Structure 1
Amino acid sequence: MSRFTGPRLKVMRALGTELPGLSRKSISDRPHPPGQHGARNKHRKSDYGLQLIEKQKLRFNYGLTETQIRRLFREAKRDKGPTGDKLLELLECRIDNAVFRAGFAPTGIAARQLVRHRHVLLNGRSVNIPSIRVRVGDVITLTAKARQIGIVSASLAEPALTRPEWLGWNDKDTTATVMRLPEPDEVPFPVNVQDVVEYYAVRM
């Protein structure tokens, strides 16, 4: 998977929302879009523009390529339930996101790196594929070596987000257990997933 290495704050300003999986920084000081005329740009966006923004929120927060999110959308569309809700569930259940939401890493990008470097244990076994999907009952923890990493210990001491209810936390063993599947309203940033569904409905 290609990794985004561009200016993260600039992306969040362009999308008009803070994405915790992308960066811990805030756009409150400069909430307008980047660029010379960003603060004065009051033009109403088209329906396509609004749909594109919502889709890009998911892409950048979860660190996906366009190909990956399209693949997940196809899978969500085959489900019997609402496509948008299923898409959010699939995104939240990625192991790199679960590592981030559990507080092992300060951002989704850092969590993905932990997985890639085999610092994450899933049910006691080392994994290195960020897209692995966690299931109910799975136990996530880190290797002893990983717990000595500075950003990991700092994140455990002060997690970027409150741990969601779908993840049970054992402070004694420093483990996270998947208690249930995540709900759509547990996504940690505002997103109109129906716009994402409409975006792909005419393109796939």
Structure 2
Amino acid sequence: MAKYIGPKSKIARRFGEPIFGADKVLSRRNFPPGQHGNNRRRKQSEYAVMLAEKQKAKYTYGVLERQFRILFEKAAKADGITGEVLLQLLECRLDNVVFRLGLAPTRAAARQLVGHRHIVVDGKVVNIPSYSVKAGQVIGVREKSKSLEVIGDALAGFNHSKYPWIEWDENQKAGKFLHRPDRADIPESIKEQLIVELYSKN
């Protein structure tokens, strides 16, 4: 399973946002990495700005280039605004849904839970992080995994009401994926139109 394993704080500093979750390094050094990071004033080209936005989306959702392009092509063929559909498809990924349910503190941790067969979809184990969750499906924790400390710690104090497209059942430790989220409800600060413009140039 391919994934980014490089220095996450360095990437977060490049974008000036905690795209991998809470980051102590970013809070102390909120400027680009490198020898001249704090004094960099060079104006970026239009293409560089669009490319950076795509990179930010890829790192945020933990998707590599080939997967991202496939999702973009799927979004381009679908009804609706391409950029918004792209973000919706990213939100439908199983690892992202597990993260949104509060079962893991980060998407990387959610991807690990899925890969290690701790997550079930409609009662059946699914260990593919890129699995696309459909409306009405129920995502939960495998029965023998419910006592995992990492899951209990992640759920402690988690506010499930902040994601209106997911319905949480505390007793079952599971959530129903009600529908694809509206763009206004997706909290990530991604300018998806720049990504669309970038692919239109290629």
Unpaired runs of 5+ residues, structure 2, are none
Correspondence for 2:22: 24
The corresponding residue for 2:146 is: 147
* Secondary structure class of the residue paired with 1:148: coil
**Which position in structure 2 is the counterpart of 1:5?**
5
Given that 1:103 and 1:163 are in contact with CA atoms closer than 8 Å, whether structure 2 keeps it comes out as no
Normalised by the length of structure 2, the TM-score is 0.93
Q: State the 1:16 CA deviation.
A: 2.1
Q: SS of the counterpart of 1:28?
A: helix
Aligned to 1:81: 80
Q: CA-to-partner distance for each residue in 1:159-195, whole Å, 9 max, x for gaps?
A: 4987411011111221111122111233332111011
Mark the CA change 1:162 to 1:199 in structure 2 (over 3 Å): closer, same or farther.
farther
Q: Does 1:72 align with 2:64?
A: no
Equivalent positions of 1:95-106 (< 5 A) are: 95-106=94-105
Would the aligned equivalents of 1:168 and 1:178 in 2 still touch at CA under 8 Å? yes
1:1-204 pair list within 5 angstroms:
1-19=1-19, 22-25=20-23, 27-159=26-158, 163-203=162-202
| TM-score (normalizing by structure 1) | 0.92
How much has 1:28 moved relative to structure 2? 2.9
Structure 1: which 5+ runs fail to align?
none
Alignment size in residue pairs: 201
1:94 to partner: Cα distance: 0.5
| Percent of residue pairs bearing the same amino acid type | 39
Deviation at 1:24, TM superposition (A): 2.7
Contact 1:105 1:151 in 2 (8 A): yes
4+ long deviations beyond 6 Å: none
Structure possessing the higher relative contact order (Cα contacts under 8 Å, 6 or more residues apart):
1
2:23 partner letter: K
User: Could you tell me how far 1:158 is from its partner in structure 2?
Assistant: 3.8
Kindly report the root-mean-square deviation, in angstroms, between the aligned alpha carbons of the 2 structures.
1.6
Is the deviation greater in 76-85 or in 150-159?
150-159
Give the helix-richer structure, 1 or 2: 2
Question: Which residue type is aligned with residue 10 of structure 2?
Answer: K
Amino acid in the other structure paired with 2:31:
H
